[in-house]
Amino acid sequence: MIEQQHAPTLDGWRHVYSGKVRDLYVDETDEARLLVVASDRVSAYDHVLETPIPDKGAVLTALTLWWFDRLEDELDLPNHLLGTDVPDAVRGRAMVCRRLEMVPVECVARGYLTGSGLADYRATGAVCGVELPPGLEDGSRLETAIFTPASKAQLGEHDENVTFAAVAEQVGPELAEQLRALTLRVYDVAERITRERGVVLADTKLELGHDSGGVLTLGDEVLTPDSSRFWPADQWQPGRAQSSFDKQYVRDWLTSPASGWDRAADTPPPPLPADVVERTRERYVEAYERITGRRWD
């Protein structure tokens, strides 16, 4: 858990939790209402870095709100948003949301092979038990998007890819089928929308939960550079690592000789230099502008 000093004190809201990026508050007069605040913190290699990325929290929030509207229109998919009337200290990077009973599964859809999915494929020829054809490379587009769930990990630990059968055993076969179908529907819609805007949606992770009436509802953030892999379509080339709209500049610098950081050591990563911060910010902003068609102000 992140130290509480990262989270500002907000009148009328009680701070209850901080994750790698988000701070969570409960309405002091109505515990069914939550305030979800996206900070400018950035994490890499299971560390929350000392240096923030300006505008990151605002971009994540604005993009989530944009996608909530699109998915509600396209899929009639409910989400946990109640409004954006939030305290001034977090305005622009916070949402008032309804409390959900979260499903204890990371719902992941992959349309392209990379990351942990690529590692699984190279080891077994499958991802989360889904057999794939031979000869695929890093960045290969899959014939059909696949559901590759993961178990939720505690802060500082890795999510672990699991099979659909394991999900069915954990939450029941009926709910498991709902999770798979809904995750793939969201991916299909979002992949079409981003492709039309020159962006490849390689994969995405959804958080789903049940509202007070038992309706499966979209929670947390959705289809942001922190929960998805977005690649410039005109630079996509299977067989190599792809250029991406996320914190890849941060990862690349940390693992370069310039950082002087030993990933295997117990020491935390060093502060980020100004040029890495600015390039990372630019990638988040570009993702927002390309996907929404709006200018970031």
How does pLDDT run across 27-68, given as a tens digit for each residue?
Answer: 999 999 999 999 999 999 889 999 999 999 999 999 999 999
CA distances from 295 to 198, 206, 210 (A): 16, 26, 34
How does pLDDT run across 185-211, given as a tens digit for each residue?
Answer: 999 999 999 999 999 999 999 999 999
How does pLDDT run across 102-132, given as a tens digit for each residue?
Answer: 999 999 999 999 999 999 999 999 999 999 9
Looking at residue 4, its pLDDT comes to 39
- Burial 260-296, CB ≥16 within 10 A → b, else e: ebeeeeeeebeebeeebbebbbebbbbbbebbbeeee
Average pLDDT in the 69-95 region?
Answer: 96
Rg (CA), the chain: 19
- Please tell me which residue, 156 or 288, carries the higher pLDDT value: 288
Instruction: Using alpha carbons, select from 270, 277, 271, 279 the residue that is nearest to residue 244.
Output: 279
Angstrom distance (rounded) from CA 66 to CA 69: 5
Question: In the beta sheet, which residues pair with residue 48?
Answer: 43
Domains and CATH numbers, the chain: 4-98 (3.30.200.20), 101-248 (3.30.470.20)
CA distances from 198 to 128, 155, 235 (A): 29, 34, 10
Looking at residue 3, its pLDDT comes to 39
Q: SS3 helix, strand, coil % of the chain, rounded to 5?
A: 35, 25, 40
Cα angle for residues 72, 73, 79 (degrees, 5° grid): 5
How does pLDDT run across 168-192, given as a tens digit for each residue?
Answer: 999 999 999 999 999 999 999 999 9
Looking at residue 285, its pLDDT comes to 97
How does pLDDT run across 233-258, given as a tens digit for each residue?
Answer: 999 999 999 999 999 889 999 999 99
Angstrom distance (rounded) from CA 217 to CA 200: 25
Angstrom distance (rounded) from CA 142 to CA 110: 8
Q: Which amino acid is at 224?
A: T
